[in-house]
Amino acid sequence: MNYRPPRWLPGGQLQTIWPALYSRRVFGSKPGYLRQRWDTPDGDFIDVDFLRYEPAAPASAAPRPLLVVFHGLEGSSRSHYSEAFADLAREQGWACALPHFRGCSGEINRAPRAYHSGDHAEIGWILARLRSAHPGVPLMAVGVSLGGNALLRWAGEVGAHAAQSVDAVAAVCAPLDLAAGGHAIGRGFNRQVYNRMFMRTLVPKALQKLGQHPGLFDRRALLSARDLYAFDNVFTAPLHGFRNTEDYWSRASAKPLLDAIRVPALVVNPRNDPFVPAASLPRQHEVGSHVTLWQPAHGGHVGFASGRLPGHVRAMPDAVAGWLAGRAGLQTGVRAESAHG
């Protein structure tokens, strides 16, 4: 990806914050979704939003290729990158599914657990169900940030069996080394801005979970947590089978399994991402032959704004979808204005 930021948007912090808040996400109307609630094998549920086409396709229409988008930490189908990918899918005539991790669809889930960065079993279950519902069509999956790490973790865990569910996968701004990313977000400007932003939603949702399941964790310890490290130590790690934060960050990271991936996989990491230190990024000799690394100098964390003020965020989705489509045997067109900064 040869991304060049516009002159009015210098630096990784601005390239992260501005696109999420102000840049255009779509080139047409805001995408509409149809929501399905799926019961999980353990008695819980997730909500999956499907791109709605107006007018609806006739029953005799050929099945559409499917793009699956996994969101990041505390994201949803309405995150800026989710709407940009859905807008792209609509332009290309693809179906698009946007699964929500547990508790991220606007309603707290039922089970005494939530979601985490290495939730590869959940990824595998979702993709297998989508493949079953969309047989015989290209199926491409992209994960953003946390969703990207979980997606690559799944692809590495199952190896050649991943091809039964997907034709190609991509991860954008995934914290492949969770310890490096976790420590980065806990320092300086990141701690004051992004850490606080995540804690404002994570802590209330954890308290809702405690209300559902009294005694699940130490309420006082949760309320004293001031960063993701402490939050993961009290909540995320023990609820999902990890000893503590260090164990969670180590065992859930996708980086050690990148050489085990056996389907086409694109890994996009800007080198100025405030959440993902450049020194922690994988090098070519650390990944398998099925993995392509894109590590542009700029882009921030899921930013990639292009064009004139206020910019748009379609440069990255267009580039990623073009790569995925090529591996899935599809033709796709990229907007001219999306190709340049």
Q: H/E/C letters for each residue in 129-164?
A: HHHHHCCCCCEEEEEECHHHHHHHHHHHHHHHHHHH
Q: Please list the residues that pair with 172 across neighbouring strands.
A: 144, 268
Q: Is 145 a catalytic residue?
A: yes
Classify burial at 56, counting beta carbons within 10 Å of its beta carbon; exposed 0-12, middle 13-18, buried 19 or more: exposed
Ordered strands of the 45-52 beta sheet: 32-39, 45-52, 95-99, 66-70, 139-144, 168-172, 265-268, 291-294
Residue in 87, 119, 273, 318 annotated catalytic? 273
Beta strands in the chain (DSSP E): 32-39, 45-52, 66-70, 95-99, 139-144, 168-172, 265-268, 291-294
Q: Are 229 and 182 in contact (CB under 8 A)?
A: yes
Q: Is the dihedral of CA 85, 118, 269, 285 positive or negative?
A: negative
Q: Which residue has the tokens 């590590």?
A: 295
Q: Is 134 a catalytic residue?
A: no
Q: Are 118 and 151 in contact (CB under 8 A)?
A: no
Residue in 82, 145, 253, 280 annotated catalytic? 145
- Between CA 116 and CA 252 the distance in angstroms is 8
Tokens of 113: 């657990």
Q: Is 119 a catalytic residue?
A: no
Residue in 77, 301, 306, 338 annotated catalytic? 301
Q: Are 130 and 66 in contact (CB under 8 A)?
A: yes
**Catalytic (active-site) positions:** 145, 273, 301
